Amino acid sequence: MLSVHTLTISTTKKNELIDITPQIEEIVRKSKIREGICVIYTPHATTAIIINENYDPHVMDDVLDALHKLIPEGKWQHDRIDNNAAAHIKSAIIGPSQTIPIKDSKLMLGQWQAIMFADFDGPRNKRQIIITLQRMM
């Protein structure tokens, strides 16, 4: 069995990480899938999906700070078109999707792990996250 769900969120900052773990867990719970996989994907060229620690919020701040230092704004060829090349590069490095196993109807995340939606070209309304669940036989 395959099921596809869409989560729509808005962002409020230029670079922002939003914990979407509770929404994904709810989708998995309602699916009643006992064992399978969950694929979280964002179809935007300047967004990404990250799995990392959620206990200390400074970890995510550090991720954004590191990306900003590695990929500064305003020095890329694409900036001549719409001034968001750094957002495209960050998204390409992090990636648009993550896959998480499901066991006993729960995401098999580590104790401190959370699923984060990253927007590198915000603020934006109606950012899409596509969640695909596959039941294992």
Q: pTM higher than 0.75 for the full model?
A: yes
137 residues of the chain, pLDDT tens digit each: 899 999 999 999 999 999 999 999 999 999 999 999 999 999 999 999 999 998 898 999 999 999 999 999 999 999 899 999 999 999 999 999 999 999 999 999 999 999 999 999 999 999 999 999 999 97
Pick from 16, 20, 30: nearest CA to 114: 20
Cα dist from 63 to 16, 57, 70, 96, 137, whole Å: 10, 10, 11, 16, 37
CATH code reported for the domain at 2-135: 2.60.120.460
